[in-house]
Structure 1
Amino acid sequence: MSTLTARHDADPRPGTRPPDREHGSPRGGRRHPRRRGWWVFAVVLAVCAFLWVFPFLWMVSASLKTSGEVFAGGLNLVPEAPQWENYVRAWTTGQFGHYLSNTVIVTVAVTLIVVVRCALAGYVVGRYRFPGSRLIIGIFVATLFVPTGYTIIPIVKVSMQLGLLNSLTGMIMAMAGASNVAAILIYAGYFRKLPADLEEAAIVDGAGFLRVFLRIMLPLSMPVTATVGILTFLTTWNAFFLPLVFSFSNPGLRTVSVGMQAFVGENSTDWPGMAAAGVISILPVVVLFVFMQKYFVEGIAGAVKS
């Protein structure tokens, strides 16, 4: 009889559930600590996320306050009465509409030039073996340790001799002429791992160097192109040093990062207007990331795999 009872407890019928032994059974007791741990982890992440975005939230709040309220309010994010005229002042008096158009022109042109130039250089370095190729790669890596400030004097000197110092064209050429070694090496690593059969088949069909690159290699490198393009766009949009040098004697060439100086006077600073200008300058980047985040994540993943 005891044997039958033990067998019944060990092998219950289909559709039946064995009775719980104790309230503190392992199956029932493991779920609650796990759920509690996940909730604690979620709360910690939420606090970290809030601290991460708090400066941006404070800048948006400051752009809707008066100058006195900015300092008296402390960390308060809720303005007493939204001052929308701060944005009007930043757009008209601060000329941020003009600075924004300059920034868009410079950023788009620099991004296109850098992507094409780095893709071509990476294709040659990654797919071809020629005398001195390793030396060239070593020089590329060595330039990573050269500070940007050391190159500003020859850049200004060459721009003055070419008559491009006080122009958007000179600013574009100076910013697009940077080494961009990281982008070239990423392209080189990606192209090096592509199968040679694709290239050989195109050459047999009569395709030349540029046709092979434009029709086959460049479309295959879209993940890396997305990475280089987005990172170059962000770097150029936020650039300050070179745009400051090229617009020093011509304020009409300022970009949004340099245009912040328009709110700094000799005796006072228009902090609400500067905050409104900061929101205007960062808003296009946020919109771009919202629409391009899928390609950005895929591009980063493709760059890491390469």
Structure 2
Amino acid sequence: MSAATAIRPESAEGAPTRRRGPRRGRNVRPGRVVALVALTAAALLWTYPFLWLVSASLKHPSEIFGSGFDLVPDEFVWENYTRAWVEAGFASYFVNTVLITAGTVLVVVIRSALAGYVLGRFDFAGKKILIGVFLVTFFLPEGYTIIPVTQLTDQLGLLNTHAGVILGLGAGGQIAATLLYAGYFRGLPKELEESARLDGAGQFRIFFQVMLPLAWPITATVVILTFLFAWNTYLLPLVFTLSEPDLRTLAIGMTVFVGEYGQDWPGMAAAAVISLVPVIGVFVVLQRKFVDSVAGAVKQ
């Protein structure tokens, strides 16, 4: 046996293996190229309004509508953000929005989870009728309930307060969140509760220590959707803070830039960017969690 044959690798059958050359690149299908170009064009078209908003927030008033589709300002006017944050009071509006949104999310999660747990795990008289009423009220617009909610909040002495806005936003029907929790809890095995009762756990302990942690896919979905709703809502905070401008949220604060004889478009654009940055940040951070939680909710 020669030296060349001795060092040549052999296969299981004893035959020498052949060295493979470099693989050829896969053929690019024309359909994929067309789809990629179409999706890229659609993405650019979809993001153009936001890019225009950011560009307008850095322009002079005369340049906003006079530059056409040009997104690059002739001069970056950072004073627009200073005027929106300091002079227009968006610093306090931002704090108000954070407090109201956090409180609303907390109230909605606890209340919807408790209501969904009762609907999903217990049988009682009128349960189907109650679910039917929930489904009917799901389609009612917010404007139909703003008057009784305002009167009830006023009678509780919570009008023109952060707590009043939080209760007005979070203590409503929240039918979608309640039904999501009910459907999830209905699918959990009863042995979980039975084993917890054998260990001496009461009903509330079973809920908070056993059932609610298992419902994290639904909780993640409810948290994200409630955050978006509370952060961007306009009507109820407007009604609840008419006599207290210091309690305004970011959505209501946009009206500061609307005057009797004109509008401060650069300042309004800068304020809109300030309002959107937290929402975009939450979406970027929780994008995968949101998709996973919605998928988990659908599977249940």
Match of 1:184 in 2: 178
Match runs of 1:36-185 below 5 Å: 36-185=30-179
Letter in 2 for 1:108: A
Match of 1:25 in 2: none
Whole-angstrom distance in 2 between the partners of 1:159 and 1:144? 21
Letter in 1 for 2:160: N
- Alignment partner for residue 261 of structure 1, among 242, 255, 266? 255
Whole-angstrom distance in 1 between the partners of 2:108 and 2:53? 32
Letter in 2 for 1:209: Q
Deviation of 1:16 (Å): 10
Deviation digits for residues 221-245 of structure 1, max 9, x if unmatched? 0011000001000100000000110
Whole-angstrom distance in 2 between the partners of 1:57 and 1:16? 53
Deviation of 1:15 (Å): 5.3
Whole-angstrom distance in 2 between the partners of 1:101 and 1:43? 42
Match of 1:20 in 2: none
- Alignment partner for residue 198 of structure 2, among 181, 198, 204? 204
Deviation of 1:78 (Å): 0.7
Return the structure number with greater helix share. Answer: 1
Moved over 3 A (4+): 13-17
Matched, 1:274 2:283: no
What 5-or-longer segments of structure 2 have no aligned partner? 1-15
Match of 2:12 in 1: none
Letter in 2 for 1:249: S
Letter in 1 for 2:284: V
Letter in 1 for 2:125: P
Deviation digits for residues 256-276 of structure 1, max 9, x if unmatched? 000000001111100000000
Letter in 1 for 2:172: A
Deviation digits for residues 114-171 of structure 1, max 9, x if unmatched? 0010001101100111111111111111111222111111111112222222111111
Instruction: Name the SS of the counterpart of 1:98 in structure 2.
Output: helix
Letter in 1 for 2:280: V
Letter in 2 for 1:88: T
Deviation of 1:74 (Å): 2.0
Instruction: Name the SS of the counterpart of 2:152 in structure 1.
Output: helix
Deviation of 1:218 (Å): 0.5
Letter in 1 for 2:294: I
Deviation of 1:81 (Å): 0.6
Match of 1:24 in 2: none
Question: RMSD of the alignment, in Å?
Answer: 1.6
Q: Single out whichever of 164-173 and 276-285 deviates more from structure 2.
A: 164-173
Matched, 1:193 2:199: no
Check 1:127–1:69 CA distance in 2 against 1; reply closer, same or farther (3 A cut): same
Matched, 1:301 2:290: no
Whole-angstrom distance in 1 between the partners of 2:19 and 2:294? 51
Q: Percent identity?
A: 53
Deviation digits for residues 157-199 of structure 1, max 9, x if unmatched? 1122222221111111111111010110011111111111111
Whole-angstrom distance in 2 between the partners of 1:39 and 1:165? 58
Instruction: Name the SS of the counterpart of 2:236 in structure 1.
Output: helix
Match of 2:281 in 1: 287
Whole-angstrom distance in 2 between the partners of 1:160 and 1:108? 22
The aligned length equals 281
Q: Single out whichever of 72-81 and 266-275 deviates more from structure 2.
A: 72-81
Q: What's the TM-score once normalised by structure 2's chain length?
A: 0.90
Letter in 2 for 1:149: G
